[in-house]
């Protein structure tokens, strides 16, 4: 205990010295016990960080932690911020004027402050030049006034972790994200949305983004809605859709018909993972692989041919069903470099 107190006292002294130089901070990258976070956050609350451009703050619960009030600060306190990575349960507010500096904002997965759609809407309005946003949502609360259309032309990567009945339907009907290339919707187990959740399709139709990666985790939309979404993602290279419960209908939609190139769905698809909730026949999996594999391992130029770029398929594995990799045609694809991975069902 004595050594622990000495360590805490020494760390506290060091952090007070760091705090005293906050006006000179340009980059702040710290990992500290949470009982010391008040020291480093006070300059942010006091707007004493005029030239801060990059902040990465991580805290952990230590054995000497004590109860504390929730800390809070406004991002507008640091007008030159370009990148924020937060792994600390500090409430961040978006209540300042429009700012053009912030490009990257990431709340780590274990960030546990309750947030609302109103916070997300305020963030998007205040920082119109955001390129990367990773944000948790706990409530459907929306701002009293929501613009008819929120056209955010710079976001390329959006990762939303959704909790406790937060329905994004209304917000998705107001958003346009024409630069979006990477979208992750990660729904926690504490909320199961309706099966016919149509709002992702609305977002994609309104935005027509150059989406290259789409990840849906715990997102049980209906299979036909997923297929309709894929019709809006002609640049898609990676698709992960877990808990949708896809069937042969999805694989058939993705199987290439060489006689009609204009009908190819996701012609640049390279990696496909439809999760263990999906159930496919061996025939449907074989048809998909053979139609989309171009023999990359033998130096062909198939990567330039629409619909011939698939290199990886994740498939559920049931011990009582024959392994498709033993099929001679599929074995040949694997020998040429195709990657067939299994997830136990």
pLDDT in tens, 271-330: 999 988 888 889 999 999 999 998 755 445 455 688 999 999 987 766 555 578 889 999
66-121: pLDDT as tens digits:
555 678 888 888 999 999 999 888 888 888 888 889 999 999 876 777 787 888 88
pLDDT at residue 51, as a whole number? 94
> How many angstroms separate the CA atoms of 138 and 115, rounded?
5
Entry pTM: 0.88
Give yes or no for a contact between 170 and 142, defined as CB atoms under 8 angstroms apart. Answer: yes
pLDDT at residue 301, as a whole number? 47
Give yes or no for a contact between 172 and 146, defined as CB atoms under 8 angstroms apart. Answer: no
Residue 29: enclosing H or E segment and its boundaries? Answer: strand 27-33
Which candidate, 63, 60, 7, places its Cα nearest to that of 37?
60
Which of 44-58, 114-128, 157-171, 218-232 is the least confident region?
Answer: 157-171
In the predicted model, what is the mean pLDDT of the chain? 84
Give yes or no for a contact between 201 and 228, defined as CB atoms under 8 angstroms apart. Answer: yes
With 60 as the cut, is the pLDDT of residue 235 above it? yes
pLDDT at residue 315, as a whole number? 75
With 90 as the cut, is the pLDDT of residue 26 above it? yes
Question: Under DSSP, is residue 68 helix (H, G, I), strand (E, B) or coil?
Answer: coil
> How many angstroms separate the CA atoms of 273 and 310, rounded?
12
pLDDT category, 54, cuts 50, 70, 90?
very high
Angle at 63 between CA 57 and CA 64, to 5 degrees: 80
Which candidate, 53, 56, 57, places its Cα nearest to that of 25?
53
With 80 as the cut, is the pLDDT of residue 140 above it? no
Give yes or no for a contact between 75 and 81, defined as CB atoms under 8 angstroms apart. Answer: yes
With 80 as the cut, is the pLDDT of residue 230 above it? yes
pLDDT at residue 324, as a whole number? 85
pLDDT at residue 81, as a whole number? 94
With 70 as the cut, is the pLDDT of residue 262 above it? yes
Mean pLDDT across 11-33: 91
> How many angstroms separate the CA atoms of 168 and 139, rounded?
9
Mean pLDDT across 247-253: 95
């Amino acid at each position: 205990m004595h050594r622990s107190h000495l360590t805490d006292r020494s760390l506290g002294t060091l952090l007070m010295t760091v705090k005293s130089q906050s006006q000179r901070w340009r980059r702040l990258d710290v990992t500290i016990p949470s009982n010391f976070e008040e020291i480093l956050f006070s300059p942010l609350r006091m707007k004493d960080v005029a030239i801060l451009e990059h902040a990465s703050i991580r805290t952990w619960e230590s054995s000497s932690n004590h109860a504390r009030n929730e800390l809070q600060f406004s991002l507008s306190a640091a007008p030159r911020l370009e990148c924020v990575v937060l792994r600390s349960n500090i409430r961040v507010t978006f209540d300042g004027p429009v700012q053009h500096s912030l490009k990257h904002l990431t709340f780590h997965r274990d960030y546990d402050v309750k947030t609302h759609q109103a916070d997300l809407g305020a963030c998007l309005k205040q920082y119109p030049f955001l390129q990367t946003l990773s944000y948790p949502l706990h409530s459907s609360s929306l701002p009293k006034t929501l613009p008819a259309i929120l056209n955010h032309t710079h976001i390329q990567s959006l990762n939303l972790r959704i909790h406790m009945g937060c329905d994004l339907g209304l917000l998705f009907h107001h958003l346009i994200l024409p630069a979006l290339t990477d979208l992750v919707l990660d729904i926690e187990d504490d909320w199961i949305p309706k099966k016919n959740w149509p709002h992702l399709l609305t977002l994609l139709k309104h935005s027509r983004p150059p989406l290259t990666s789409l990840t849906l985790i715990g997102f049980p939309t209906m299979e036909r809605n997923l297929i309709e979404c894929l019709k809006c993602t002609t640049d898609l290279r990676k698709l992960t859709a877990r808990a949708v419960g896809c069937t042969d209908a999805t694989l058939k939609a993705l199987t290439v018909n060489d006689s009609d190139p204009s009908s190819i769905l996701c012609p640049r698809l390279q990696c496909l993972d439809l999760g263990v909730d999906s159930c496919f026949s061996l025939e449907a999996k074989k048809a998909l692989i053979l139609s989309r594999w171009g023999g990359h391992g033998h130096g062909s130029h198939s990567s330039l041919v629409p619909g011939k770029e698939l290199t990886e398929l994740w498939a559920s594995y049931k011990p009582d069903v024959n392994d498709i990799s033993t099929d001679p045609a599929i074995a040949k694809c694997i020998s040429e470099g195709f990657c067939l991975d299994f997830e136990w069902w």
